[in-house]
Structure formats: C-alpha cells, structure tokens
Structure 1
Amino acid sequence: MPLRLSSHTFTSHAVEAEVEYRLLLPDDHREGERLPLVLHLHGAMSSSASLELALPLYREAFDAGEFPRAVVACPSTPTQGGFYLDQEDGPAWETMVGTELPAHLTETFGAFDRVALLGASMGGYGALKQAFAAPERFAAVAALSPAVFPGESPADVPARNIPSVLGELHRTMAPGGDAETYARNSVHGRARTRAELIRSSGLSVLIDCGAADEFLLHEGAAYLHEVLAELDIEHTFRLVEGAGHVGPAAERRTLDAIRFLGRALMSR
C-alpha cells in the first residue's frame, strides 16, 4: 500500500512553542475515513525524522496485512528540557504529546477509531508513562529499550544505570531527589497507582529490550517486568540475547513492535 509522509507544525500551549511533527497515512486516505491513530515517540537526541526511518517498516507491515490503515504521528520533542515530562513551572511535553497533539489531529481527521503508542529509548519511557496514566485511552503500547530505571525511589537507582543523558532524565524526574515526584514520573510508579485500571482496560503491553544494552536499560526493563508481574498486569516481555541499544536487530525488533500494535488495533 502506498504511504504518504508529510511534515507539519502546530502551536502548542503546553510548551508555548510551534511543534514540528511528521505524519504517515495511506496515500488513498479518504476525507472523513475513521482510522486508528499511532503516536510514534522518538528517542533522545532525535526528532520526528525517526518516522521517516521507520517508513519502510510500516510499509512492510501494511503490505503484509499486519497493520491497519492508520494515521501515524511523530512529534519532535527535546531531550534536555523535554524528556516527555510535564515540568513544574516549565514546558509540559507529556501534555503536548498525549493531549494536545491528538486533539489537533482530531480537528483534521475527526475522532479516531482507537489509539496506540510506540516508543524507543526515551520515547519508550514516554509511551509507557502515557499508557499507564490513562490506560482506558489506548489499545496498545510497545516500548523498545525503554529508558526506565531499576528502583522505587531515585536513591535506589545504581549510579551505573544513570550515565550521561540518562542521569539528566533521572534528575529531571525527581528535582531535589524527591521520592514522591519520582514515583509520579516513573513508569513503575504509575503502574502501581493505576494497576486496577490497567488490568481492567485490556491494554496490550510490549516491553522489548536487548540483553546487551550498552546503557544497561535491560536492567530497568527487567525490573519493570517484575513489577508488572507482581501487579498481575498482563504484558509481553522480550529480552533479546546479544542485542544492544541499536544495531542489526533494531529494525526487526521495531517491525515486530509495529506488528504487535497491528494485532491489537485490528482485534478490537
């Protein structure tokens, strides 16, 4: 199926800026056609251009009948000062991604049939956080090498798990090391507070991480897997032996994540 990729901007009040986003949809999209929406969240030091890189994978899934006709949107979000977080007295990037952008797209396309999330690295953190905050809004979430940390409070996270930009995310999640703020901003913290809603929502959850992740994100992913199992939250967990944060397996893993979303979107 031919797919059309285009670039746009919209004015976000949550971040007080023009936000650039890329949009992918069937070339023969009909006005008024009600489609599902996929929010595709890029990783750190990246932009909405990541959707262009993923285009061949969406096309492959479309052509194989493993992904439905859908609108796929990827907004550009900053790393430092962003992190898919609503910051106190600062820009609200989580609100922009999860609320403002879907509302803006609804004005263009009308109400969406259902909504799913896909994110990698920092985007995986953002996708899981959105999904667990309001699981009733989403059919599925797929997180690849999500930037999550092992530990219930900021002080519990080993130093080896928060190098470089991950350390900046860790500090931004909990200004001053505040454990309550950290819990609100952490994926497993949200899972704990929303466990009953997540279980009853029917949300499909995929967590995929390389077992040789250079940033040790597999330790945080395994910790999250244990928390979800403890909370009896149904999910699929894949620890891919020999795979790193990026590398030869990354494209196949992303394609598998797109297929995962496709199954959820086409079965509801």
Structure 2
Amino acid sequence: MELTEGRFTSTAVGREVEYRVLLPADLEVGEDVPLVLHLHGAMSSSASLVLARPLYEELARRGRFPRAVIACPSTPTAGGFYLNWPGGESWETLISKEFPEHLAASHHGPFTANALIGVSMGGYGALLAAFAEPERFAAVAAISPAIFPGETPQTVAEVNTPSVLGDLHRSMSYGTGDAGTYAENSVYARARRNAARIRGAALPVLVDCGAEDEFRLHEGAGYLGEVLTELRIGHELRLVQGAGHIGPEAEVRTRNAIEFVGDALTPRGAESAANRRSCP
C-alpha cells in the first residue's frame, strides 16, 4: 500500500486541513473501491494512520480487508472533538461530508461505500457521525470510544470526566450545561432518535473497549451496549478482560476492528456480519 500526505482548504472549518491517505499502489482511475475514514484520538493527528498502516497491509495480504482508500484527517482536540461548533468550525461536517467529497475528487472516487473506524476521541466521532446518517455508512467500529455512562450533563459522574474527557463533556453542550444542547452531541440521543433508520440500514456496529480502561471508558461502552440492546440495534460489544486504554492488547484490538470493517465491506463478509449482528 502507498501512503501519501495532502492538504486541502476546508469550507466547513475555515482553514487548511492536513491528512494522510493509504491506498493500493496500483489503484486505477475509475476503479470501484470503498473509503474508510480512520479517525484519530485526542492529542493526535493523521500520523496515527502511519502506525495503523502495517495492520491494514497485513489484513489486505491475508485477504481479510478489501482494496480500499483509507484516510485520516488531522483534527484538533480542544475546539474540535469532531463537533460542529455554533458559528465556528464544523468538524463533524468535515469528516462526514466535506472530506469524503474531497477524497472522491482527488483519489479516483466516487467510492462504492464509506466506513468509519475511530479510536478514543475518534471512536466518539465515528459513532456520532454514523448514528446521525446510518444510510451513508457501510460499518462503524469504535475502539475505546470517549463516551460516558450517562445521557445528560448531570448524570455523568465526575470520576468519568478526568482531564481531556472533562473538556469533551463540557464541549458537548458548548460549555452551557444545557441538557438539550448536550443531547444534540450525544451518541445515545442520536441512537434513540434514529433507531429505526439504524435498524433499517442494518449498520454493522462494533464497540470495543478494555475492561480495565484507565479512564473508565468501559463504563460508557457498557452503557452504550445496554442502550443499543434496548433499541434493538444490532451490534457487537467487546469488553476485553485485562486490557486498558492502550498497552499490548491495543494492536490486536485495532487489527480486529479493521477486520470487522473489512468483513462488512465484502459481500461474503457482509452476509456473515449481518447474521452475527441479529438481535433477539
């Protein structure tokens, strides 16, 4: 696979955005391939795709991941968080619409499908975008997503909002503490509002988190699993025993998440994934 760097001027955020793209070295103009958006975590950048590159290449060699364009834009943490800020930068719009459109124009699109893989803050952003418009995505995989075990600002305990997670928690209501505003940026609220659409789209959903996550994100992952089960939204919830937020298990879990998306993007895998996702 070939890794390239690029920049484009975004209307959604009003600035130049740096990104990296991983694609087959022999990709032909007009070739039908899917697009995978690889969303990085807090205090990171598109360089996270460099670290994930060997996993994509390994799975592609083994036939467990299709020929695809894989792209990661650099997005800020504070003032970003993959949110659309009132009167300001619209990072959710960038990742879900503007950036894919730019890639389609510059990397042999349009694409046959779009999928999302996100880690930590990127896991939150991936779920947020996928649950807003489930028909637009072929799969979403969230690894240690930055989500909380509560659906309002008041029901999330302080112990679940350390450091940058506290910044995200406040940013979901744009610093106002207003429950309605918070819900607009809540993965749970979007799942509840669009449950019928998510079920209708048969969106493959993976939520993977270490059961001993240092930031207690496993509590949010478990809560999301309960909400999705309540809403009869098919999903896979993996709470990995002995695993934390990062560590030696992170590479295995990322590989498994990429494989999950790869399955959803191939006809044979899509059929078996649909069977695995069925809920009682």
Q: Report if TM-score (shorter chain) is over 0.5.
A: yes
Aligned mate of 2:27, from 26, 29, 35? 29
Q: How far did 1:225 drift?
A: 0.5
Q: How far did 1:111 drift?
A: 1.0
**3-state DSSP class of the match of 2:265?**
helix
User: Would you say 1:168 and 2:167 are equivalent positions?
Assistant: yes
Equivalent runs, 1:117-196 vs 2, <5 Å: 117-174=116-173, 175-196=175-196
Cα separation, 1, equivalents of 2:62 and 2:264: 16
Cα separation, 2, equivalents of 1:143 and 1:225: 12
Aligned to 2:278: none
Q: How far did 1:110 drift?
A: 2.1
Q: How far did 1:217 drift?
A: 0.3
Cα separation, 2, equivalents of 1:199 and 1:139: 13
Cα separation, 1, equivalents of 2:117 and 2:32: 20
User: Would you say 1:103 and 2:101 are equivalent positions?
Assistant: yes
Aligned to 2:273: none
Equivalent runs, 1:62-77 vs 2, <5 Å: 62-77=60-75
Aligned to 1:211: 211
Aligned to 1:83: 81
Cα separation, 1, equivalents of 2:151 and 2:99: 31
Cα separation, 2, equivalents of 1:48 and 1:61: 20
Aligned to 2:257: 257
**3-state DSSP class of the match of 1:38?**
strand
Q: After the TM superposition, which segments of 4 or more aligned residues of structure 1 sit over 4 Å from their partners?
A: none
Aligned to 1:112: 111
Cα separation, 1, equivalents of 2:109 and 2:3: 19
Cα separation, 2, equivalents of 1:229 and 1:208: 16
User: Would you say 1:43 and 2:49 are equivalent positions?
Assistant: no
Q: How far did 1:105 drift?
A: 1.0
Per-residue CA deviation, residues 60-87 of structure 1 (Å, 9 max, x unaligned), is 1100000000000000000001000001
Sequence identity (%): 63
Cα separation, 2, equivalents of 1:255 and 1:148: 21
In structure 2, the gaps of 5 or more residues are: 271-280
Q: How far did 1:136 drift?
A: 0.1
Q: State the TM-score, normalized to the length of structure 1.
A: 0.98
Structure 2: which amino acid aligns with 1:203?
A: L
Cα separation, 1, equivalents of 2:220 and 2:122: 15
Cα separation, 1, equivalents of 2:10 and 2:235: 33
Cα separation, 1, equivalents of 2:226 and 2:181: 22
Per-residue CA deviation, residues 69-112 of structure 1 (Å, 9 max, x unaligned), is 00000000000010000011211111111111011111122210
Cα separation, 1, equivalents of 2:67 and 2:46: 20
Per-residue CA deviation, residues 192-231 of structure 1 (Å, 9 max, x unaligned), is 0000000000110000000010000000010011000000
Cα separation, 1, equivalents of 2:114 and 2:97: 12
User: Would you say 1:244 and 2:244 are equivalent positions?
Assistant: yes
Q: State the TM-score, normalized to the length of structure 2.
A: 0.94
In structure 1, the gaps of 5 or more residues are: none
**3-state DSSP class of the match of 1:47?**
coil
Cα separation, 1, equivalents of 2:27 and 2:245: 35
Cα separation, 1, equivalents of 2:129 and 2:257: 17
Q: How far did 1:31 drift?
A: 1.3
Q: How far did 1:121 drift?
A: 0.1
Cα separation, 1, equivalents of 2:232 and 2:247: 32
Per-residue CA deviation, residues 29-56 of structure 1 (Å, 9 max, x unaligned), is 1111121000000000000000000000
Cα separation, 2, equivalents of 1:97 and 1:152: 24
**3-state DSSP class of the match of 1:177?**
coil
